[in-house]
Structures are given as C-alpha cells and as structure tokens.
Amino acid sequence: MNRYQKLAWFNLIVITATILITTTAVAIEIHLRGYSTIAPLFIVILVLLKLNPFLFKKPKGRNKVVSDERDKFIVKRAVSFAYITFWIVFFVSSLAIHIFMGMGPKSSVPTITLPLMAFGGAVFIKIVSSVAILVQYGRAGKGELS
Amino acid sequence: MNRAQKIARFNLIVILIAISLSTIAVSVLYFVVGLPMRRASGGFGFIGICGLMGLSPLLYKRGSDKVSLDERDLMILRNASLGAYSIFWVLFVLAAMIPFFVLGPKGMVSVKYLVAMVFGGIIIVVLIQSVITLGAYGWGVKGKNRE
C-alpha cells in the first residue's frame, strides 16, 4: 500500500468515524435533553484530517521515490472526478431548493446554510476523491510501497 | 488551431460578450435612465447569451476519421479543468462565507442567491478553463490542426 492509498484510507476512516460519533451523540443528547447543542461539536474530530502530512511523511533521501507518473495521474483523475461529482450535486441541490421553496419574496434560507454548504462540499470532495483513489488502485494493497 | 482551442476561444468570446453587454445594460439603466438598482439589474438578462456555449460541441464537430486528441491535449484539458475547479472552489467558499459575515448568523438569503451561485460558478469554470486552455497552447495558432 503506497502513501496515497494510506492517506485515502485515513481520510475515509476519520470522516466515517466523525459522522458516526456525531450522529450518535446528537441522538443521545436529543433523547436526554430534547434538543442538541453540545453534540454537534464532535465534528471537530475532522481536524485530524490536517494531520495527514505528519502521519504519512514523504520518504526522505535521494533514492526514495514518493510517486511516479501513474500515481500522479491517479490522484489528478480522482480530484477531477470529485470536483465534477460535487458540481453535479451542488447544481441539483441548489435548483431543488429553489424549486421546492418557490420563487416568492419569502423564499429564503438562513445565512448559516451557505457555510454549511461549503463545509459539506469540502467533506464530500474528500470522500469522493479518497474512494476514487482506492478504486483506481484496486482497493487492495496492490500499490507499490513508498 | 485544434478543436479544443476553437471551443475555448468560442466560449471565451461568448462569455466576454455576455458580461460586457450585461454591465453596459445595467450601467445605462441605473445611471442614464435612473431606474432603481433592483429594476436595473434586469440588464443581467444578457448573461443568457452564455447559453450559446452549449452549441460549441455542435459547431466544432469531431472528425470521424481523424485523431482529435493526443496525450498532450488530454493533459492540457485535464490541467485546465483542475485549475478552473480549484479557482472556482476558492470563489465558492468566499461566496458562501461573505453573506454569513455581512448579514450575521440570523440573517436570511434569498434562494435566488443559490441559483446565482450555480450559474455564476458555471461561467467562472468555463471562463477559467478557456483561458488556461488557450494559454497552455500559446494563445496563437500553434496547436496542430487536426480538423
């Protein structure tokens, strides 16, 4: 398993864990208190994604190869695919909101929706690009060691 | 000039015409005619000209018996897409955060803003894609003619 595959697995594990923990915490808090204010803070677990460069360091030394052209091609293709998928989802969801909420003067959304869209989009792109990297490498540990 | 360059040039011209006409129309309606901004913004209707971009694949058809793309062309197109989406992403985050900070967390945004983000996003992506494609080929007629 090479560096990109490890990074992709790490991203997927962190994001899945965050979603599961946050959802469970919100459900428990709502069950106990009737509303949820503290549990959504579990989303900060996603900060772990920023540890990627430290956890999976690039090998140092002249003889060590980090990635070849094929690896770069796979990563570029995964990122392109993620952006295109995000674009489709963004387009459809924005038009769906517009259609379902109508076009009158009262059809508006809270401003917090917009940062949430950007945040959700970033997580979505991370998930799709990680999955695309793993699928292109064949999901198993076929990639060369780095 | 190859097919990708012709499409990029066509898209760039269409977008620039649409933006120029919209800006002129809004300016004239607001400053010359004296309409309120809400009504003058109707001049943005000229952005609809961008719909002509959808015709570019029909105008510049692929030759059935000739090779239309080589590896270099594919790399240029892929880099152009990646560059365009990367810049779009930065602008998208800005467009999402600015209303939040200006209007506050309790403020409301019209759903039309979301649709404007979508169509603005399409225009930005195609514009940057076209500029990067033409820039990568050298802005001139250096690309091989495979038509």
Task: Return the residue of A nearest to B93 by Cα.
Answer: A118
Question: Do the Cβ atoms of A98 and B111 come within 8 Å?
Answer: yes
Domain presence at residue A32: yes
Question: Do the Cβ atoms of B85 and A101 come within 8 Å?
Answer: no
Over residues A56-86, the pLDDT tens digits come to: 777 776 666 667 788 888 888 898 899 889 9
Domain presence at residue B91: yes
Residue B100 forms contact with A (CB below 8 Å): yes
Over residues B67-122, the pLDDT tens digits come to: 667 788 888 888 898 899 889 989 999 999 999 999 888 888 888 888 888 889 99
ipTM above 0.90, yes or no: no
Which residues constitute the domain of residue B27? 3-60+71-137
Count up the domains in chain B and report the number: 1
Domain presence at residue A91: yes
- Contact between B88 and A90 under an 8 Å Cβ cutoff? The reply is no
B66: burial class by Cβ within 10 Å (0-12, 13-18, 19+)? exposed
Mutate to test the interface with A, among B97, B108, B111, B112 (most CBs of A within 10 A): B111
Domain presence at residue A34: yes
CA distances from A45 to A15, A41, A50, A146, B49 (A): 8, 9, 10, 27, 46
pLDDT of residue B147: 46
Q: Quote the CA–CA distance of A131 and B4 in Å, as a whole number.
A: 30
Flag the least confident range among A30-34, A55-59, A86-90, B115-119.
A55-59
Report the largest interatomic distance among the alpha carbons of chain A, rounded to a whole angstrom: 65
Residue B28 forms contact with A (CB below 8 Å): no
> What is the DSSP secondary structure assignment for residue B133, as one 8-state letter?
H
